[in-house]
Amino acid sequence: RVVEPALRMAGPVRLLCREGRLAPLLAEMAVHHLDLVIADQPMPNHLNVRGYSHFLGESDLTVFATPHLAQSLEGDFPASLNRAPFLLPGDDVALRPDLLRWFETQRLYPHIVGEFEDSALLKAFGQAGAGLFAAPTAIADYVIRQYAVQAVGRIEAVTERLYAITTERRLLHPAIVAVVQATQREFFGKSA
């Protein structure tokens, strides 16, 4: 949904969507194989790649479950997460350490049944009832509709940030400008 505005451009646009680890994607951007990288972290300083981070927005998290799994939870949120099956974002997902730290500070020990680098795959497993999962509150309505799940609680102390990383300090490419503005407006309620 983030890149959808590029498809509505008046002029011809060719989309090439790839998912992967940040460093290889930035390397592809550096040699002009990609114009834009959408990431959950800003451009790392240690890479020898010229790139600029454009902050899109930030959202706290909502925890979701199938209705059947939600009914089986014991106690109120967040205590209901203790020993509950949970689908965790993978090691490369920027919010993972914050989420694990939050579990620790709340003294919660969910049963981690799966770890996923791909957020759509994580949500698909959640939709199948494999476990609870967290996603940005900014897309909660979409997650509920798309995956037939319900919100069971909100984690305001953990946030996910989204960045557009480009080789342009000032955004000039019309498709990139459209994607950035639409994302800020539709997901984060910001006017560009």
Shared domain for 12 and 39, answered yes or no, is yes
Tell me: do 15 and 71 sit in the same domain. no
The reported pLDDT for the residue numbered 164 is 93
The rounded mean pLDDT for the chain is: 92
For residues 82-98, b (16+ Cβ closer than 10 Å) or e, as one string?
bebbbbbbeeebbbbee
Residues 146 and 184 in one domain: no
Residue 191 has a pLDDT of: 56
Q: 25-72 pLDDT, tens per residue?
A: 999 999 989 999 999 999 988 888 888 999 999 999 999 999 999 999
64 shares a domain with 152: yes
Q: In angstroms, what is the C-alpha Rg of the chain?
A: 18
CATH number at residue 165: 3.40.190
Are residues 29 and 112 both part of a single domain? Answer: no
Same domain, residue pair 153 and 67? yes
Q: Exposed, middle or buried by CB within 10 Å (0-12, 13-18, 19+), for 62?
A: buried
How many beta carbons lie within 10 A of that of residue 23, not counting itself? 12
Asked if residue 111 and residue 176 are part of one domain, the reply reads: no
Residue 1: pLDDT above 80?
no
Domain containing 114 equals: 59-159
User: 77 and 133 share a domain?
Assistant: yes
Question: Taking the model in full, what pTM does it have?
Answer: 0.88
Whether residue 190 is predicted with pLDDT greater than 70 in this model: the reply is no
User: Looking at residue 120, which CATH number applies to its domain?
Assistant: 3.40.190.10
Q: With bands split at pLDDT 50, 70 and 90, how would you rate the model's confidence at 114?
A: very high
**Number of domains present in the structure of the chain:** 2
- Do 52 and 70 have their domain in common? no
Same domain as 85, residue 28: no
Q: Are residues 173 and 113 in the same domain?
A: no
**Nearest-angstrom CA–CA distance, 185 and 192:** 7
Mean pLDDT score, 120-137: 97
Shared domain check, 172 and 150: no
